[in-house]
Chains A and B, each alone.
Chain A
Amino acid sequence: MSNLFNIDIVNPDQSFLSKDNVFEVVIPAVEGEIGILKDHIPIISFLKPGIIKVFSETEEQNFYVEDGIVEFKDNTLSVLTSSIFDLKDADKNFVSESISSAEAELSKDNIDDQKRFLLNHKVEVLKSISIN
């Protein structure tokens, strides 16, 4: 029996990625990374800034996401996100811009702890991208 399932990543304006031959996906859910294999129980969660790793039979793909919602049901993983890009096509300028805007946001006083945590995390992830 195969151990493959489907993944659909959709943007508001288009379908970003659709595959039916992945065997593992690691998503940066808000309470920690989740690795999803076939026949995972139905789950709904949302994302924090991080990297989605998609392992298919032939290749491994990495995507940076800022936020979004994931739903897993009937062996289909749906990821809804408005900000996503493939790490391979990462634009250095865009990444450094995002880092500086996030850092500017961090330096403000009036943000709550949860937001501060998310922003810190975002900076961390983006920096790790720009190093590679």
Chain B
Amino acid sequence: MPSLDDLRKRITSVKSTQKITKAMKMVAAAKLRKAQENAEKGRPYSKKMNNVILNLSKSITDKENAPKLLVGTGEEKVHLCIVLTADRGLCGGFNTNIIKKAKSYFEKIISKNKTLKIITVGSKGYDQLKRQYKSYIIENISFKESKNINYFDADKVGKIIIEKFEKNEFDVCAIFYNKFKNVITQIPQEQQIVPLNEDKDDKDDSGNDNDYEFEPDEDEILSNLLPKNISTQIFKAMLENSASEQGSRMTAMDNATRNAGELVDRLTIEYNRSRQAAITKELIEIISGAESL
């Protein structure tokens, strides 16, 4: 049985924790609005980009000589996985969900005896993966210094990928991130970017039978466009991720605040009870003392 003093201390400590989680929730809510706006503003670009590439790849007849970024190297031996996570914790299952998704993919690859290479973006992902997959991680990128998500950062990651591809360091590349659906739901995503898989979400079915005029020719446009598309896809993933992170943190902190409230209520009842018991005990002692006289 904890003493009254212990209980009082416990209540104060829970209350101050509650204050912190409440503040974090409100900060996350404010950031979420901005991040969500950004994510929505960024969607048209990646959507248009996808459409252009789709139209282009349809008009390519000579599949053999098509750019490798589009059709792949013809092999599937080395898989490169880009795992995008947050730089900060305390956001519920946000990071864990991405890692879980990524891990199941890793296991599949390892069990098929293929080579696995991992690049982590964001320090939380690195922290969680290094225990188990340390030997596979080839690079760890973090954008802690940049305040906002910007295209420049995404482009850096994109360039690393292209560089590795040109050196034939991998055959297939997939990215892992959380797609923002709403504040409560974020869906961990696995998206293959090399060779390019059609993204079903971004598909626009507005009859693509147009005969385009290309200037210069298709191949040259494609080879120019595909590296850009990789950066764009990563940028999109980063935007979705940041909105998801804030959403996830907001829900997590909201829950924590509520839990703390419940805990304070319970502790207060316990505190009052034991205070009452102490008073009763003292009274009994006095009365029985007086009776024995």
Contacts and interface: CB of A to CB of B under 8 A. Distances in A.
B152 to A, nearest CB: 9
Contact of B151 (A12, A29, A69, A73): A12
A126 to B, nearest CB: 20
B49 interface: yes
A10 B215 contact: no
B221 A13 contact: no
Contacts of B16: none
A10 B48 contact: yes
Interface in A26-41: 29-31, 34, 41
A14 B41 contact: yes
B232 A43 contact: no
A10 B232 CA distance: 12
A45 interface: yes
B45 interface: yes
Contacts of B56: 44
Interface string A60-104: 000000000101011000101010000000000000000000000
A130 B44 CA distance: 32
Given A29-B215, A80-B52, A45 B45 contact: no
A50 to B, nearest CB: 14
B72 interface: no
B48 A44 contact: no
Contacts, number: 78
Given A42-B210, A45-B214, A82-B151, A71 B52 contact: yes
Contact of A69 (B42, B154, B225): B225
A21 interface: no
A18 B52 CA distance: 18
A14 B42 contact: yes
A13 B232 contact: no
Interface residues of B, number: 31
Contacts of A11: 45, 151
B67 to A, nearest CB: 14
A12 B49 CA distance: 10
B38 interface: yes
A3 interface: no
A46 interface: yes
Q: Which size bracket describes the interface of A in this complex?
A: 20 to 34
B213 interface: yes
A44 B224 CA distance: 12
Among A12, A34, A42, chain B packs the most CB atoms within 10 A around the CB of: A12
Contact of B45 (A71, A74, A80): A80
Contact of A78 (B48, B206, B211): B48
Among B49, B211, B232, chain A packs the most CB atoms within 10 A around the CB of: B49
A1 B118 CA distance: 58
A73 to B, nearest CB: 6
A31 B45 contact: no
A36 B45 CA distance: 21
B216 interface: yes
Interface of B: 38, 41-42, 44-46, 48-49, 51-52, 55-56, 150-151, 154-155, 206, 210-216, 221, 224-225, 228, 232, 235, 239
Interface of A: 8, 10-15, 29-31, 34, 41-46, 69, 71, 73-74, 78, 80, 82
29 contacts: A8-B48, A12-B45, A12-B232, A12-B235, A13-B38, A13-B41, A13-B42, A13-B151, A13-B235, A14-B41, A30-B215, A31-B216, A42-B212, A43-B212, A43-B213, A44-B212, A44-B213, A45-B214, A46-B225, A69-B49, A69-B225, A69-B228, A71-B51, A71-B55, A74-B206, A78-B48, A80-B48, A80-B49, A82-B151
Given A13-B151, A82-B155, 13 more contacts: A12-B154, A13-B38, A13-B41, A14-B42, A30-B215, A30-B216, A41-B213, A44-B213, A44-B214, A44-B221, A45-B215, A69-B221, A71-B55
